[in-house]
Chain A
Amino acid sequence: MEDIGKRSRGRGLPSRRTVLAGSAALAMPAIWTSGARAQSSTLVVSTWGGNFGRLLTENVDVPFMKPLGIEVVQDIGGEEARVAKIQAQRMLPQGNIDVACVTGGVAQRLADLGALEPLNAATVPNLAHALPNLLTPTAAPQFYSPQVLIYSSERVKEPPTSFADLLEPAYKNKVGLTDGNFPFNMMAAALYASGNITDVAGAKEAMIRLNKNGLKLYPSVDATAPPFKSGEIDAGIMFLARVISWQDSGIPVKAAFPKEGAALYVSSLVVPKNAPNKQAALKYINAMLEPSAQQGFAAKLGYIPATDNAGLSGTLAQQLALPVPAPKLVVPDYAAMAAGSADLADWWKKTIQRS
């Protein structure tokens, strides 16, 4: 045996003892990590990056989760990638997302798939303060923003009052929309066409007319701001939150609520059914609905709190206050949105983008 061992070493092959020692050494980080994880729990939040992710860290992760010993890891990316992950993982016993930030329509799509954990005030106490019209059985509303008519306060003397105004010759080649917001742009057109937010046929007809009036499309929300400043466009459709943040940046724009109604953009938090750390996920959502967290997002991004106890005050409360008399606010029909989203995207691409 000794000879064999010597020969092995002579050829540079490891002995059994060396292999065992090496394996133990390799396993050490895993053993150590598992011990460390037992002491502090990790929560994966799938979210947008930039200001959004930073505000989550400042208003939720640090003040609420850190004291509980919960380490928050942000999985930053686009919404559709997030949806694809949850969809692809939903048959697995355990996924890798604990909380996902999604828009209302996407939350509905995921709920229809049975991929989401039910949420209620028993497990998330602050849901008792969530605005009832924004709350769904599986999605906690994080905040919302009405979709308004945006116009240049320098060049537009008579503010628009309806989508119909954008079709007028006065606005020829002067209306700009964000291409990526096409589902909401279509909702605005549907409300104008018939007052019914799901009137796809009416919306298509109205949008074709707007396109013929020299509609300009911009690839992202942020790319839509400079044309207002440079004079390239005078009006469009935008979320009130963005109008406020652009005003804060010195861009001369104002918002007007369309008389036919304003669709609501709702940002939600959901918990996948197979979330690995469900308990921490529920605590996270509860923390997001705390007044201080709601105030943080309202102050920096201009979104309206989705709870009744956020307690905004001062200039911010004035900026976010709805006009009197109260405008017509319409929560999107998420089920209809989910059913027609692929067809609508195809139509938008081939009809509006192309012509």
Chain B
Amino acid sequence: MSDAIISGRRSRQLGGTVLLAPATLVVLIMLAAPLALLVRYSFNRFSPTDLMIAAVTPENYVRFFTDPFYLEVMRTTIGVALLSTVLCLILGLPIGWRLSRMRPPWRGIFIFAMIMPLFVSSTVRALGWMILFARGGVLDLGSSYFFQRHFEMQFSSTGVVIGIVSANLPYMVLMAQSVFAGIDDRLSEAARGLGAAPVRAFWRVIWPLAIPGIAIATIMCLILGMNAYATPILLGGPRFQMMAPLVYWEFGTNNNWPFASALAFVLMATTLLLAVVAHTLVPRRYRA
């Protein structure tokens, strides 16, 4: 009898694997194949006439790691991504917590309000910030009227960070809200019943339970910040350089596919490394 049960279970597992296979295959092909191509291209040689010459040379990577210009762009990218992620955490967690403790229908209304910006593409949102930040924009007009001084934040690193935070904050808030909402209120009540002050109950009971979810939200914001494209271009301007626009410059303006591939791969590897580091910073017992 037990053999029959085991056999039936194995058969179901096999069926599940077979059903999953096509989707897995598609994901593998759509993700792994371009990545493999990217790696291969990054070892090719650039030629202005032939685009690429098949080769196996590390020169594109050497160029990146030996040129202070590219290293500086990478440092700027990491700095902006880290700063925007920290700001998302500082701003997003209290909002997420408050939302999770709201009662219907307000909770739904506010969550919908948080989702609303996601209906608009990041490019359009960045254009909105441009109207606000630019010379002659809303803030400049206000500043000129009240303080007789121009206010310009377009084409500045501050503008880029604000733009990225505004784009990533809804993700942080929604994930934090969902994490906090999944934690039973009675745990906090029990802690308080045992004499813990509300703040202590939060840090000792709620926060450890929320850490795995918050860590994932943080890593997601970090990845989005590292790969930001439209915001740095529109709000940073030509003088502010981050990695994703640089990849496009090499690909689109110079048609240098091998170097653009190497840049893309370095960006991806750095992002992955940062995500792993962020994950390891979470104590093992709290990891998801």
Residue interface bits B245-263, CB-to-A below 8 A is 1, else 0: 0000100111111000000
Taking a contact as CB atoms under 8 Å apart, the answer to whether B239 and A354 are in contact is yes
Question: CB of B51 within 8 A of chain A?
Answer: yes
**A156 to B239 Cα, complex, angstroms:** 26
Residue interface bits A30-47, CB-to-B below 8 A is 1, else 0: 000000000000000000
Taking a contact as CB atoms under 8 Å apart, the answer to whether B48 and A338 are in contact is yes
**A226 to B134 Cα, complex, angstroms:** 9
**A232 to B49 Cα, complex, angstroms:** 41
Give the secondary structure class of B's interface. Answer: loop
**A179 to B238 Cα, complex, angstroms:** 7
Taking a contact as CB atoms under 8 Å apart, the answer to whether A80 and B239 are in contact is no
Question: CB of A16 within 8 A of chain B?
Answer: no
**A227 to B255 Cα, complex, angstroms:** 30
Taking a contact as CB atoms under 8 Å apart, the answer to whether B233 and A230 are in contact is no
* Nearest-Cβ distance from residue A180 to partner chain B, whole angstroms: 8
Chain A residues whose CB sits within 8 angstroms of the CB of B140 once the complex forms: 230
Closest chain B residue to A88, Cβ basis: B51
Taking a contact as CB atoms under 8 Å apart, the answer to whether B237 and A217 are in contact is yes
Interface residues of B in 216-252 (CB under 8 A from A): 233-234, 237-239, 241, 249, 252
Taking a contact as CB atoms under 8 Å apart, the answer to whether A83 and B255 are in contact is yes
For A341, give its contact among B48, B50, B237 (CB under 8 Å). B48
A219-B238 in contact given A84-B51, A230-B135, A338-B48 (Cβ < 8 Å)? yes
Question: CB of A308 within 8 A of chain B?
Answer: no
Question: CB of B136 within 8 A of chain A?
Answer: yes
A226-B136 in contact given A80-B255, A342-B254, A345-B254 (Cβ < 8 Å)? yes
- 5 A-B contact pairs sorted by A residue (CB < 8 Å): A87-B49, A112-B49, A226-B134, A353-B238, A353-B239
Taking a contact as CB atoms under 8 Å apart, the answer to whether B253 and A80 are in contact is yes
**A179 to B140 Cα, complex, angstroms:** 24
Interface size on B, residues (CB 8 A): 24
Quick one: which of B48, B50, B233, B241 has the most chain A CB within 10 A?
Answer: B48
Closest chain B residue to A216, Cβ basis: B155
Size category of the binding interface on chain A: 20 to 34
Interface residues of A in 296-355 (CB under 8 A from B): 338, 341-342, 345-346, 349-350, 353-354
Question: CB of A68 within 8 A of chain B?
Answer: no
Closest chain A residue to B246, Cβ basis: A349
**A230 to B137 Cα, complex, angstroms:** 9
Taking beta carbons and an 8 Å cutoff, which residues of B are in contact with A?
46, 48-51, 69, 134-136, 140, 152, 233-234, 237-239, 241, 249, 252-257
Chain B residues whose CB sits within 8 angstroms of the CB of A342 once the complex forms: 46, 48, 254, 256
**A230 to B50 Cα, complex, angstroms:** 45
Interface residues of A in 4-43 (CB under 8 A from B): none
**A257 to B273 Cα, complex, angstroms:** 54
* Nearest-Cβ distance from residue A77 to partner chain B, whole angstroms: 10
**A338 to B78 Cα, complex, angstroms:** 35
A345-B253 in contact given A112-B49, A350-B69 (Cβ < 8 Å)? yes
Question: CB of A81 within 8 A of chain B?
Answer: yes
Question: CB of A231 within 8 A of chain B?
Answer: yes
Chain B residues whose CB sits within 8 angstroms of the CB of A350 once the complex forms: 69
Q: Which 10 A-B pairs have the closest CB atoms?
A: A230-B136, A179-B238, A232-B135, A217-B238, A230-B135, A80-B252, A350-B69, A353-B238, A87-B51, A345-B254
Question: CB of A92 within 8 A of chain B?
Answer: no
Interface residues of A in 228-278 (CB under 8 A from B): 229-232
Chain B residues whose CB sits within 8 angstroms of the CB of A87 once the complex forms: 49-51, 255
Chain B residues whose CB sits within 8 angstroms of the CB of A88 once the complex forms: 51
Quick one: which of B237, B249, B253 has the most chain A CB within 10 A?
Answer: B253
Taking a contact as CB atoms under 8 Å apart, the answer to whether A349 and B48 are in contact is no
Residue interface bits A202-238, CB-to-B below 8 A is 1, else 0: 0000000000000001110000001101111000000
**A349 to B253 Cα, complex, angstroms:** 11
* Nearest-Cβ distance from residue B239 to partner chain A, whole angstroms: 5
Question: CB of A113 within 8 A of chain B?
Answer: yes
**A80 to B256 Cα, complex, angstroms:** 11
**A349 to B241 Cα, complex, angstroms:** 9
Question: CB of A132 within 8 A of chain B?
Answer: no
Taking a contact as CB atoms under 8 Å apart, the answer to whether B48 and A231 are in contact is no
**A219 to B249 Cα, complex, angstroms:** 12
A349-B252 in contact given A217-B238, A219-B237 (Cβ < 8 Å)? no
**A22 to B252 Cα, complex, angstroms:** 44
**A226 to B130 Cα, complex, angstroms:** 11
A218-B136 in contact given A81-B252, A83-B255, A342-B48 (Cβ < 8 Å)? no
Interface residues of A in 148-184 (CB under 8 A from B): 179-180
Question: CB of A63 within 8 A of chain B?
Answer: no
Chain A residues whose CB sits within 8 angstroms of the CB of B152 once the complex forms: 232
Closest chain B residue to A84, Cβ basis: B255
**A84 to B251 Cα, complex, angstroms:** 10
Question: CB of A78 within 8 A of chain B?
Answer: yes
Closest chain A residue to B245, Cβ basis: A219
Chain A residues whose CB sits within 8 angstroms of the CB of B51 once the complex forms: 84, 87-88
Chain B residues whose CB sits within 8 angstroms of the CB of A346 once the complex forms: 254
Closest chain B residue to A350, Cβ basis: B69
Interface residues of A in 90-110 (CB under 8 A from B): 109
Taking a contact as CB atoms under 8 Å apart, the answer to whether A349 and B249 are in contact is yes
Chain A residues whose CB sits within 8 angstroms of the CB of B135 once the complex forms: 227, 230-232
Chain A residues whose CB sits within 8 angstroms of the CB of B257 once the complex forms: 84
Chain B residues whose CB sits within 8 angstroms of the CB of A353 once the complex forms: 238-239, 241
Chain B residues whose CB sits within 8 angstroms of the CB of A349 once the complex forms: 69, 241, 249
